[in-house]
Amino acid sequence: MSLAPERKKHLDALCNKFRVDVLEALYGIQSGHPGGSLSVCEILTALYFEEMSVDAADPQKPDRDRLVLCKGHAAPMLYRVLAEKGFFPASEMKTLRRLNTRLQGHPSTTHTPGIDLSTGPLGTGLSAALGMALGLRLSGYKSKVYAILGDGDVNEGTVWEACMSATKFKADNLIAIHDWNRVQLDGRSNDIMPQGDMEAKFKAFGWRTLACDGHDLNALVDTIDKAKAYPDGRPVVILADTVKGKGVSFMEGQNTWHGKALGEADYKKAVAELSSSKAGE
């Protein structure tokens, strides 16, 4: 069900704030991945604020929902969202990637409360999410497992091994969301490794497919709700149409901002743009 207008406004404003805070952290350490972090902002926000059952007071609750950020380099946005959920203070964002931090360069279960799986090497996340889903089912829990794929991630063959396995084992408590911005480190995905018909590929592997605008919280919530409601023993992938670097004009769609630190002028311009954004107003 779509969000109430006030709720939508609140979450859009939060997303804007998350973007500013993430860029501030990346600028501060002069390292990290802005493009993919901005791309996945609404997906994470929809999941953690509207869809997932998690409790910062009991971060290891056995029957909680799980999230696997297969594209682990977007960790800064995940950290910012987890901080907002109360897993740790938002002020810790300034320790990102620094010595002795709990906020490692890529998600780490042993460092950070709220992280369900360590990721970073691409291609391993969906398989692990599947194992989680099957394990939770064996335990009799109704929990869902969400796996967020990226365009570089799906270059890896293991993603498609996981797709075959999820169908074989009827993992209908597994929901993959493809943060589909069609850009990766070295360039446009269709230049680096042509993606072909992504929807047809997932269908061919036996998955249900849904699609939505990956920056529209209403669309995301509606689509995730639909994915959760499917009862028929098939895994679901949501192809979420996104823009790499979303919200910062000079980053949007640019592979050069995959993993580049912001200079002072870039940082100021980005923050000015986001601050004048109408999001949430």
Partner 1 sequence: MAKAIREIYGEILAKYGQTNKDIVVLDADVSSSSRSVLFQNVCPDRFFNVGVAEANMVAMAAGFASVGKIPFINTFATFLSTIGLLGARIFGSYSELNMKFMGAYGGLSDAFDGPSHHSVEDIAIMRSLPNFRVYVASDETSTEWIVKNAIDSKGPMYVRLSRDVFPTLYSLGEKFEDGKGKVLRQGKDVTIIAAGIMAGFALEAAKTLAGEGIEARVVDMFTIKPLDTALILESAKTTGAIVTAEEHSVIGGLGGAVSEALVLGQAYVPVGFVGLDDTHAECGPYSELLAKYKLDAPAIAAKVRETVKKK
List residues near partner 1 by CB under 8 A: 62, 66, 108-110, 116-121, 123-125, 127-136, 138-139, 145, 157-158, 161-162, 164-165, 169
Taking a C-beta distance cutoff of 8 angstroms, is the pair 251, 34 a contact?
A: yes
CB 261, min distance to partner 1, A: 25
Q: Give me the least distance between CB of 96 and partner 1, in Å please.
A: 19
Q: Which is nearer to partner 1, 121 or 263 (CB)?
A: 121
In the chain, the N- to C-terminal Cα span, in Å, equals 22
Residue 104 or 242: the one with the smaller Cβ distance to partner 1 is 104
Give the residue with the Cβ less far from partner 1, 128 or 243: 128
* Closest to partner 1 by CB, 107 or 214: 107
Q: What does the DSSP assignment read for 42-100?
A: HHHHHIIIII----TTSTT-TTS-EEEESSGGGHHHHHHHHHHTTSS-GGGGGGTTSTT
Write down the least CB distance from residue 241 to partner 1, Å. Answer: 27
Cβ 102 to partner 1 shortest distance, Å: 15
Question: What string of DSSP letters covers 84-122?
Answer: HTTSS-GGGGGGTTSTT-SS-SS--TTTSTT--S---ST
- What is the distance between the alpha carbons of residues 251 and 254, in angstroms, rounded to a whole number? 5
